[in-house]
Amino acid sequence: MNKKTIRDIPVRGRRIFVRVDFNVPVDAAGRITNDARIKAALPTIQYLIANGAKLILASHFGRPKGQVAEKYSLASVGVCLQKLLGVKVTLAPDCIGSEVQSLVDQLADGQVLLLENVRFHAEEEKNDPEFARQLASLAEVYVNDAFGAAHRAHASTAGIAQYLPAVAGFLMEKEVCITSQALEDPKRPFVTIIGGAKISDKIGVIRHLTAIVDALIIGGGMANTFLRAQGNATGKSLVEEDKVDLAGELLREAQEQGVEILLPVDVVVAKEITDTAPSRTVKLSGIAPDEMILDIGPESVAVYASHIAAAKTIIWNGPMGVFETPQFASGTQGVARAVAACPGTTIVGGGDTVTAVEQVGLGAQYTHVSTGGGASLEFIEGKVLPGVAALADKD
């Protein structure tokens, strides 16, 4: 990565504004159900504490739409972070203003201040220059360690870098370096696995990948549109009717470039998406008009697994079915196990994919599990991420 990091700058005694991604999932009671994103930021935070920086942490949380709402407060995040760090974390009442400035002025070397949700201000998502300037006024250096928000040109992810020296944190560096190397100089065979509901969400990704991969495995609802393009009946399954011709075009493009496209050969179908709905596994020719494809079948898992086992580089983004419902989770879990067993470089990204991986407890067996959802997808597509572009280049 040709960007400066916190290793390249002096930090002792300096006020360091660190943009983190603490947008963690919570239950109905507001309790954090997965602290992975908080833990992912710890190496950067601990390095800065150990080297005597005055830390000012900022994050978004949920979608408060520019309004102060208690359920979107970072209070529970502050408590969790304090336990993980073993040092006091003070929560500010806001992210700008005189009270916040006073708390910043009181910071001693190695102390941590967590600003309140930046999205309590509508100016954050608008990338308002004055709001970005007010955030910047709190610090002397800006560090972006929020890869999960790097695809957003918001005030705290991009705008603030116009007013302060801007460098990457360790998580940002890791995310960019690992995925960049896989895309730019992969060990082959290079296999990508793309899933999820809609082909329209991943047209750019598929087009970009077919130029560089050896095989592309497709699952999830988006596979239905490809199956329809091949002339298969899909019953009441989710199909983007206006994208059927495009799916056929993408299949032809891949064939012309010598890229193997793998689609399901058997599927799990049901008439409704519930835990108790009767389901069955059928060949593609056996789908009834009133049934929906909700998962890939065991034969498809076996075919996919054979290609995965032979791969030297794998990027996976998107589940193979409606994995949130247990009886339609086998396909995604089978792929997860196959990727975990692959001895090559394995990169997993996308919120749903990461959740599925955690369900089977295999996270530690992958080379890298990305903290970015949309950011990961856009990066794989080859797009420039505003939060990365705003950082200072190395000399």
Name the residues annotated as catalytic. Answer: 37, 198, 351, 374
Please report which residue ranges of 157-288 form alpha helices under DSSP H: 170-184, 203-209, 221-229, 244-256
Give one DSSP letter per residue of 19-30, joined into a string: E------B-TTS
State how far the Cα of 27 lies from the Cα of 36, in Å rounded to an integer: 15
**Which one-letter DSSP state was computed for residue 215?**
E
Do 345 and 314 contact (CB within 8 A), yes or no? yes
Q: Cβ neighbours of residue 233 under 8 Å, at least 6 residues apart?
A: 284, 285, 287, 289
41 burial level (CB within 10 Å; 0-12, 13-18, 19+): buried
Phi, psi of 307, deg, nearest 5: -70, -40
**Which residues, in sequence order, are bridge partners of residue 345?**
313
State how far the Cα of 135 lies from the Cα of 160, in Å rounded to an integer: 7
Phi, psi of 387, deg, nearest 5: -70, -25
Tokens of 38: 């908080």
Cα dist. 48→10, 81, 115 in Å? Answer: 10, 15, 17
CA-nearest of 175, 208, 215 to 354 is 175
Helix (H, G, I), strand (E, B) or coil at 390: coil
State how far the Cα of 295 lies from the Cα of 130, in Å rounded to an integer: 49
Do 193 and 316 contact (CB within 8 A), yes or no? yes
Give one DSSP letter per residue of 312-379, joined into a string: SEEEEES-SS-TTSGGG-HHHHHHHHHHHH-SSEEEEESHHHHHHHHHTT-GGGSSEE-S-SHHHHHH
User: Is the alpha carbon torsion for 160, 348, 43, 186 positive or negative?
Assistant: negative
